[in-house]
Homo-oligomer: A and B are copies of this chain.
Amino acid sequence: MEKYYIGVDIGGTSIKLGMFSRAGQLLEKWEIATRAEDEGVNILPDVVASIEEKRAEKDGNIIGIGVGVPGPITDDGMVLKCANINWPMFNVRNRLVELTGVGKVKIGNDANVAALGEMWKGGGRGYDSIVMVTLGTGVGGGVILGGKMLTGSKGAAGEIGHITVNPDETEVCGCGKRGCLEQYSSATGIVRIAKKELREDSSLASLKEITAKDIFDAAKEEDPYALSVVEKFAEYLGLALGNIAQVVDPEAFVIGGGVSRAGDIIINHIEKYYNNNVMFALRDKDFRLAELGNDAGIYGAVRMVL
User: Which secondary structure characterizes the binding site on chain A?
Assistant: loop
Residues from 248 to 289 in A contacting B, C-beta threshold 8 Å: 248-251, 276-282
Known: A175-B280, A281-B154. A160 touches B249 (CB 8 A): no
How many identical chains are in the complex? Answer: 2
Give, as a whole number of angstroms, the nearest-CB distance from A179 to chain B: 9
Most buried by B among A155, A176, A282: A282
Partner among B129, B152, B247, B281 whose Cβ is within 8 Å of the Cβ of A80: B281
Asked if B278 and A143 make an inter-chain contact with CB atoms under 8 angstroms apart, the answer reads no
Asked if B281 and A156 make an inter-chain contact with CB atoms under 8 angstroms apart, the answer reads yes
Q: For the complex, what is the distance from the CA of A160 to the CA of B239, rounded to whole Å? A: 14
Most buried by B among A129, A160, A249, A280: A249
Give, as a whole number of angstroms, the nearest-CB distance from A52 to chain B: 33
A44 CB–B CB distance under 8 Å: no
Asked if B248 and A157 make an inter-chain contact with CB atoms under 8 angstroms apart, the answer reads yes
A64 — which chain B residues lie within 8 A by C-beta? none
Asked if B239 and A150 make an inter-chain contact with CB atoms under 8 angstroms apart, the answer reads no
A277 — which chain B residues lie within 8 A by C-beta? 164, 177
Known: A145-B145, A164-B242, A239-B164. A279 touches B247 (CB 8 A): no
A246 CB–B CB distance under 8 Å: yes
Asked if A281 and B246 make an inter-chain contact with CB atoms under 8 angstroms apart, the answer reads no
Give, as a whole number of angstroms, the nearest-CB distance from A102 to chain B: 26
Known: A145-B150, A167-B239. A162 touches B279 (CB 8 A): yes
Known: A145-B150, A162-B278, A277-B177. A157 touches B247 (CB 8 A): yes
Residues from 122 to 153 in A contacting B, C-beta threshold 8 Å: 128-129, 141, 143, 145, 150-153
Digit string of A47-82 for contact with B (CB within 8 Å is 1, else 0)?
000000000000000000000000010000000110
Nearest chain B residue, comparing its CB with the CB of A248? B157
Give, as a whole number of angstroms, the nearest-CB distance from A222 to chain B: 26
Most buried by B among A151, A158, A247: A247
Q: For the complex, what is the distance from the CA of A287 to the CA of B152, rounded to whole Å? A: 16
Partner among B152, B167, B251 whose Cβ is within 8 Å of the Cβ of A249: B152
A175 — which chain B residues lie within 8 A by C-beta? 279-280
Q: For the complex, what is the distance from the CA of A80 to the CA of B282, rounded to whole Å? A: 12
Known: A163-B246, A239-B167, A243-B163. A282 touches B154 (CB 8 A): yes
Partner among B239, B249, B280 whose Cβ is within 8 Å of the Cβ of A176: B280
Partner among B158, B247, B250 whose Cβ is within 8 Å of the Cβ of A158: B247
A223 CB–B CB distance under 8 Å: no
What are 6 A-to-B residue pairs whose CB atoms are below 8 Å?
Answer: A143-B247, A145-B150, A160-B247, A163-B247, A177-B279, A243-B247
* 3 nearest A-B residue pairs (beta carbon): A152-B249, A157-B249, A153-B251
Which positions in A face B, CB cutoff 8 Å? Answer: 72, 80-81, 128-129, 141, 143, 145, 150-160, 162-164, 167, 175-177, 239, 242-251, 276-282
